[in-house]
Amino acid sequence: MTEQGGGRDIAARVVSRFVRSMGKTHAFELPGGITNAKSLLFIDSGDVVDLLFAAPVVNCFSARFPHIRTTLLVRASESELVKGLMRVSAIVSYEPKQLKLHSADYLALARKLRKKRIDAVMLLDRRFSIERHLLAFATGAPVRIGFAHPLSYPFVNCEIRVADGGYEGKKLPRILQALGLGLEPGWDDVALVPREIQHARQLKHFWKPERDLLMVGLDPSTGKTKHHVIPEIVAYLANNLASRRRAKFVLFGNPWEEKLVRSLSQDLRGEILDLRPSNLTETVALLSQCDLFIAGNTNLFHFAAALGVPTIGLFTRYDRQGWVPEAAPRVRIMQGVRGEKLSLKEFFQNVEDVLEARTESAPRV
């Protein structure tokens, strides 16, 4: 444990002890405490991929319990994307600085949420976050649901325990099953903002009018395990692909990792399309139009898998099995070995497999 992490745990324990001393408890039953609620607040995790993973949970309540007013607390930079992914009654956006415990902005946000008279809160973070857990408690909601953690109580009074194993993207939907609520057919279909999809299609047609030309997305960003594939490896595969198939490249990447994108662009020998999305919503919409996507275990890798984009995942030795999408015929994983080049034979076979799978069923966008 790092010194910083230890300090946060100490702070959480102090706040927890104070909250417990208030003796603020409410009796509730499940699933009635949720299904009979008038208002339900979802609190994001701060990780954009969790919005993708949580969308089926949020949309389930909209479809099955229309009488519940659902609200999502989410970062302002991701609020536009949410409008396509999730069906919620209201969105409360925040800037990262507002989630600082010592700031006046944090207190103002807590008061704003409390005024909404929330009946139930659901935390979408699988980890413990003192800032978000305390906000859940501050709403005064009788039912506060979250994943089990040694520090969760009393901030959360309904802890969900999820068995280890399986794809990370399927763990949030298990909340519904734990609450005695099932998932409807097609629960994992992904929706995006229609106007953004239409704009992305127009851009694709302008830059790539030929049907036999592949628009290949490349993402060298740091992945979910804080490691990234060396840009030279991504370029090596992309250049060999371009030597066999007609292809043009679209570069994706985290805004704060421009250095990785520049490094990749310098090593590419094919044509790079001048398409640089200005925000997250445009990024995901453009991604949905790619004919092929090559990336490490990044946020966009999981969006591509969910959107049905033919995808090659370049995983490092740190990327465990839990990050491999389940039942995804358009996804293939290549596990790299330090000091060894990836097999071009395996790569080309994987490309053919995912492209063939693309023709077998229509996209789910």
User: What is the spatial distance between Cα 14 and Cα 237, in angstroms, rounded to a whole number?
Assistant: 51
Mean pLDDT, the chain, rounded, equals 88
333, pLDDT greater than 60:
yes
Percent of the chain clearing pLDDT 90 (strictly above): 65
CA angle 102, 47, 59 (to 5 degrees): 110
Where do the DSSP E strands lie in 30-136?
39-43, 69-75, 90-94, 120-123
Of residues 339 and 251, more confidently modeled: 251
93-127 pLDDT per residue, tens: 999 999 998 899 999 999 999 999 999 999 999 89
CA angle 1, 146, 105 (to 5 degrees): 75
Place of tokens 């949580």: 54
Q: What pLDDT score does 346 carry?
A: 96
Mean pLDDT of 332-354: 89
341, pLDDT greater than 50:
yes
Helices 231-244 & 344-360 angle (0-180, nearest 10)? 70
User: What is the spatial distance between Cα 234 and Cα 219, in angstroms, rounded to a whole number?
Assistant: 8
pLDDT band at 299 (very low <50, low <70, confident <90, very high): very high
Domains of the chain, each with CATH number or no CATH: 8-178 (3.40.50.2000), 194-360 (3.40.50.2000)
Q: What pLDDT score does 3 carry?
A: 42
Question: What residues pair up with 337 in beta bridges, in sequence order?
Answer: none
Tokens of 173: 């939907």
The HSE-up count of residue 362 (CA atoms within 13 Å, CB side) is: 3
Q: What pLDDT score does 193 carry?
A: 84
pLDDT band at 4 (very low <50, low <70, confident <90, very high): very low
Place of tokens 């570069």: 251
DSSP-derived secondary structure for 295-326: ESS-HHHHHHHHHT--EEEEE-TT--GGGSPS
Q: What pLDDT score does 139 carry?
A: 95
pLDDT band at 364 (very low <50, low <70, confident <90, very high): very low
Residue type, 254: N
DSSP-derived secondary structure for 205-226: HHH---TTSEEEEEE----TTS
pLDDT band at 173 (very low <50, low <70, confident <90, very high): confident
Q: Please provide residue 90's backbone torsions phi and psi, each rounded to the nearest 5 degrees.
A: -150, 155
Contacts of residue 327, defined as CB under 8 A and 6 or more positions apart, other chains included, come to: none
Percent of the chain clearing pLDDT 70 (strictly above): 89
pLDDT band at 34 (very low <50, low <70, confident <90, very high): confident
155, pLDDT greater than 70:
yes
pLDDT band at 27 (very low <50, low <70, confident <90, very high): low
**Which residue, 155, 175, 179, 161, is CA-closest to 18?**
155
Question: What residues pair up with 362 in beta bridges, in sequence order?
Answer: none
